[in-house]
Amino acid sequence: MEQTTHAYFEGKIIPFTDAKISIATHGLNYGTAAFGGLRGYWNDDKKKLFIFRPMDHYRRFMLSAKILAMDLPHTPESLTRITLDLLKLDNWQQDVYVRPLCYKADAGIGVRLHDLRDEVSIFAIPFGAYGKNEDGAHVTMSSWRRVDDNVIPARGKISGAYANSALIKTDAIKAGFDEALVLDHNGHISEGTAMNVFMVRDGVLITPSVSDNILEGITRRTIIELAKKDLGLEVVERSIDRTEAIVCDELFMTGTAAQVMVVTSVDHRSVGDGKMGPITARLRDLFNEVVHGRVEKYNHWNVAVE
Ligand code: PMP
């Protein structure tokens, strides 16, 4: 974190090391907070840092806040502006990850959502690859279930719900896997710990629908659009059974941090022929071009820090 010089905290941009909260903070004690995660990609030709789809990230951030009964004095536009100002001050010339957080900020005891002050903080850190991105990932089917919409909605990026993701991730890593797929209470595959999931069967791209206890990923939305418009693929959003992860032709996971991560085995059974499939490869390459601002028609997704 030593390279992070500034943070947005309690309504102002201040030195990062001054942005501190009490150990009695509600959001810290009860998980009554929600966050976002954006990437900034350094473009060396243009000598500029580009943030990928900030308005879409902040629209989802505002909806997560709404689920937690927060009424933030912000809009996606104002949060994007603050992020650009912050990144400009930090003067990054490399890829970064931006972490906005909204949290119940009062110090004290008493679990609830109402009658509490809400605050927003934002900071950025240098960020490269997350997880296995070059070779295929080996994943397991977690024995933990995904949080349900009637428990802690996965649709909101709610801090408390990440205890579920953390249980899943640590057990997967300790068992020797790179990541896990998680079943929801209906026994359908929902997503990974911080990634959505896609499979290819007979040339059709399939991903769980938004009512299958998933976070509505910005990368997911991007991949669906690229698959339809640029690859001319049929894309189906529907529930995915556990065994389909084994019998499908291709499997990959998507997220802002993970980008497009190919999965080559599930519980020691190879996916397809155990190598990255052609559709995954094309989508992964195209996504990489798009986020780096190298595809003209999608340049409106890349917002320059200036
Ligand atoms: N699911 C979960 C649980 C996540 O935490 C993330 C990461 N934000 C994703 C999916 C992917 O979402 P996005 O593409 O918007 O980063």
Please determine, for residue 172, whether its predicted confidence score (pLDDT) is greater than 70: yes
Give the sign of the dihedral formed by CA 90, CA 104, CA 72, CA 194: positive
- Based on the fold, state whether residues 44 and 156 are members of the same structural domain: no
Angle at which helices 76-90 and 54-67 cross, to 10°: 120
- Based on the fold, state whether residues 107 and 159 are members of the same structural domain: no
Structural domain harbouring 82: 6-126
Instruction: Compute the distance from residue 65 Cα to the ligand 1 centre, in Å.
Output: 16
Q: Give the count of beta carbons closer than 10 Å to the beta carbon of residue 42.
A: 17
- Based on the fold, state whether residues 188 and 281 are members of the same structural domain: yes
Q: What angle do CA 231, 178, 285 make, to 5 degrees?
A: 20
Number of domain units in the chain: 2
- Please report whether residue 274 resides in a domain: yes
Residue 12 tokens read as 């102002």
Q: Which is catalytic among the residues 12, 46, 47, 157?
A: 157
- Ligand 1: residue of 215, 226, 256 to mutate (most ligand atoms within 8 A of CB) is 215
Q: The domain spanning residue 94 has which CATH number? A: 3.30.470.10
Q: pLDDT tens, 42-88?
A: 999 999 999 999 999 999 999 999 999 999 999 999 999 999 999 99
Q: pLDDT tens, 146-160?
A: 999 999 999 999 999
What residue owns the CA closest to ligand 1's atom 13?
217
- Catalytic residue list contains 12: no
List Cβ neighbours of 249 (8 Å cut-off, separation of 6 or more).
199, 200, 201, 202, 271, 272, 277
CA 282/CA 54 separation, integer angstroms: 24
Burial class, 243, CB count within 10 angstroms (exposed 0-12 / middle 13-18 / buried 19+): exposed
Three-class SS of residue 184?
coil
User: What pLDDT does residue 132 have?
Assistant: 63
User: What pLDDT does residue 48 have?
Assistant: 94
pTM recorded for the entire structure: 0.97
Residue 208 Cβ < 6 Å to ligand 1: no
Q: The domain spanning residue 255 has which CATH number? A: 3.20.10.10
Cα atoms found within 13 Å of the Cα of residue 71, Cβ hemisphere only = 3
Please determine, for residue 169, whether its predicted confidence score (pLDDT) is greater than 70: yes
Please determine, for residue 221, whether its predicted confidence score (pLDDT) is greater than 70: yes
- Please report whether residue 305 resides in a domain: no
Provide the 8-state DSSP code for 230: T
